[in-house]
Amino acid sequence: MAEKITDDIRKDLEKACALHQRAVSDYSKCVEFSKIMSDLLARLEDNDCLRTADKVMTILLDCNPKEGSHCDKATIVGERMKKF
């Protein structure tokens, strides 16, 4: 059975995808991306969209914003974001 993802969650996922492309070299955007994804994880779990929540959790495991350094896993996270 396909998950029913609400329009507001879908829009925020799209926003996070676009944001990640800019976040690779901008720490504040990286932190914003991480916060959006954390919020989405909670909302997806609350809506019983567990498969999608698992995908978001996998992304968050690799997302570790560090001030003053380039993201080591930007390519991996970027590829996962494209699958959304």
pLDDT 10s per residue in the chain (84 long)? Answer: 678 889 999 899 888 888 887 766 677 888 888 899 999 999 999 999 999 999 999 988 888 766 765 666 667 777 777 776
pTM: 0.77
What pLDDT was estimated at residue 52?
92
Q: State the DSSP code for 64.
A: -
CA distance 68 to 70: 7
Q: What is the three-class DSSP state of 5?
A: coil
What pLDDT was estimated at residue 54?
94
What pLDDT was estimated at residue 37?
92
CA 76 to chain centre: 12
- The residue behind tokens 């991996």 is 76
Do residues 49 and 4 lie in contact, with contact meaning Cβ atoms separated by under 8 Å? yes
